[in-house]
Amino acid sequence: MKRHKLLPLTETMHYILLALRRPLHGYAIMQEVETVSNGEVRIAAGTLYGAIENLLKYNWIILVPSDDPRRKVYRITDEGLEILEIEKRRFVHILSLYEGGFNDDKV
């Protein structure tokens, strides 16, 4: 199977998808990501906007109806969760290589 063109995810995309496992509006996504990354990742406005547009385009996240028409709330879709699952497998694999996987297998 051919890998999706957005894979592997950029750090920004990754954090956004993880954050959107619960519904959040734009600015709250940035705050959440900043908190969980221990202040390491601070997403700028344009980057967040572009990432949201991209994720919406591939239907990895969707708009959640909300009262405030200017403040849009998003959450992850099943397709988005699948992408996270793919990425998780990739990370687990790389992690296993970190932890001596190279030595045990035939090179």
Partner 1 sequence: MMIKFKVFSNAHKEEQWLNKMLQNGWQLKSVNAFNVYSFEKTSNKEQILRLDCQSFASEQKFQQYKALYEEFGWVHLGGSRLSTLQYWLNSNSIDDLLFSDQFSEKHYLHRLRKIYGVYACFSLFITFCLFQNSAHFLTIKDAYYTPGLWDKNGFDFLGAFLFETPLAITRFGSPWLMLIFGLVSINMYFKYKREIDKSV
* CB atoms near residue 51 (< 10 Å): 21
Smallest separation, CB 66 to partner 1 (Å): 12
Smallest separation, CB 92 to partner 1 (Å): 24
Nearer to partner 1, 11 or 85 (CB): 11
Q: Are the CB atoms for 15 and 43 separated by under 8 Å?
A: yes
Number of residues this chain uses to bind partner 1 (CB under 8 A): 21
Alpha helix segments (H runs only) across the chain: 11-19, 26-36, 45-57, 78-96, 102-104
11 binds partner 1 (CB under 8 A): yes
Residues within window 18-77 making contact with partner 1, judged by CB under 8 A: 26-27, 30, 41-51, 70-72
Tokens found for residue 36: 């969980």
Query: What is d(CA 40, CA 83) in angstroms, rounded to the nearest whole number?
Result: 23
Query: What is d(CA 52, CA 66) in angstroms, rounded to the nearest whole number?
Result: 17
Nearest to 14 by CA among 91, 74, 75, 87: 87
Nearer to partner 1, 13 or 76 (CB): 13
Smallest separation, CB 42 to partner 1 (Å): 6
Nearer to partner 1, 69 or 100 (CB): 69
Would you tell me which residues interact with partner 1 (CB under 8 A)? 10-13, 26-27, 30, 41-51, 70-72
